[in-house]
């Protein structure tokens, strides 16, 4: 469960996140959908405990990220939009390093590394340096690290950017399997097809606030046209901002 309560982030006079409240229950894949600059990454950094909110609260599986950060982070996986990976480590070393950060016990680490490498189709690269990896392989490695410690809540910032169709298909299957196991996933995207295909519910974010929320069907119904494409709903709700992203998404 991921709970955001009236989350606000101001930079001087500029409000990047303007009172976001949201609950992602166990087993839900929730799409956080909006144009560039909407406040998605800022929100995720606050939920992950990397950025202090101006006001508001974040609970991860009931633990407050501000007052109980260790408990909150233990059950949280975070995949940032521009992850940092130590290029001089092998895939296996990277996963073991991550397991160490989360205090995983020695005896469970080997089995879990093997399991994660297999799940993300990286088994053959266990002993190769990360610096030789393609973008898609790095992305899968970062995801395998984020799932290593069996988080019950996962944040993923723009996971589909730059993936080939096979990579995208794999990530979709993994996310679905995780939600079937009861994991709550909050995923940002500006790719409408991704949200439409994958998400149980979506929140449409514009200028730091949620302007629409529900299933894709419910969000569509807000425009009064049951069969409208989400693309046109998004255009209507955002008053045409984010056009460039939409062009990219539908191209």
Q: How far is the CB of 244 from ligand ADP (least distance, A)?
A: 12
150: its two tokens: 């069996």
Residue from 30, 35, 38, 41 touching Mg ion (CB under 5 A): that is 41
Helix H segments across 9-158? 40-47, 69-74, 91-101, 106-119, 135-147
Instruction: Report the nearest approach of ligand ADP to the CB of residue 208 (Å).
Output: 7
The H or E element spanning position 190 is none
Q: How far is the CB of 190 from Mg ion (least distance, A)?
A: 8
Q: Are 78 and 48 in contact (CB under 8 A)?
A: yes
57 bridge partner residues = 5
Distance CA 37, CA 207 (A): 7
Judged by beta carbon, residue 42 or residue 139, the one nearer ligand ADP is 42
The secondary structure element, H or E, covering residue 35 is none
Q: Does 41 bind ligand ADP (CB under 6 A)?
A: yes
Instruction: Single out the segment in contact with ligand ADP by CB under 6 A; choices: 11-19, 124-132, 137-145, 166-174.
Output: 11-19
Least separation in angstroms between CB 150 and ligand ADP = 27
Contact 18, 8 (CB under 8 A): yes
Q: Which two tokens stand for residue 77?
A: 């996986």
Q: Which stretch binds Mg ion (CB under 5 A): 18-26, 34-42, 65-73, 171-179?
A: 34-42
Compute the distance between CA of residue 61 and CA of residue 244 in angstroms, rounded to an integer: 36
Residues 16-35 that bind ligand ADP (CB under 6 A): 16, 34
Choose, by CB under 6 A, the member of 37, 56, 69, 214 that binds ligand ADP: 37
53 binds ligand ADP (CB under 6 A): no
Rule CB under 6 A: which residues touch ligand ADP?
11, 14, 16, 34, 36-42
């Amino acid at each position: 469960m991921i709970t955001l309560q009236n989350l606000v982030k101001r930079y001087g006079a500029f409000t990047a996140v303007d009172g976001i409240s949201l609950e992602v229950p166990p087993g839900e894949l929730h799409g956080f959908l909006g144009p560039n600059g909407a406040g998605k990454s800022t929100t995720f950094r606050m939920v992950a405990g990397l950025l202090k909110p101006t006001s508001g609260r974040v609970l991860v599986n009931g633990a407050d990220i501000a007052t109980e950060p260790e408990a909150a982070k233990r059950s949280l996986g975070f995949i940032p939009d521009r992850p940092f990976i130590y290029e001089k480590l092998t895939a296996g070393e990277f996963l073991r390093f991550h397991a160490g950060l989360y205090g995983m016990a020695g005896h469970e680490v080997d089995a879990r590394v093997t399991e994660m490498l297999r799940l993300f189709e990286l088994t053959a690269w266990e002993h190769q340096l990360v610096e030789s990896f393609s973008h898609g392989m790095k992305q899968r490695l970062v995801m395998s690290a984020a799932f290593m410690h069996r988080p019950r809540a996962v944040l993923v910032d723009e996971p589909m950017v730059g993936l080939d169709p096979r990579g995208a298909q794999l990530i979709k299957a993994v996310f679905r399997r995780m939600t079937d196991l009861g994991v709550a996933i909050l995923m940002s995207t500006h790719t409408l097809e991704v949200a439409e295909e994958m998400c149980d519910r979506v929140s449409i974010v514009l200028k730091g606030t949620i302007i629409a929320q529900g299933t894709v069907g419910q969000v569509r119904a807000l425009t009064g046209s049951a069969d409208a494409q989400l693309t046109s709903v998004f255009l209507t709700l955002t008053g045409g901002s984010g056009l460039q992203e939409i062009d990219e998404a539908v191209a």
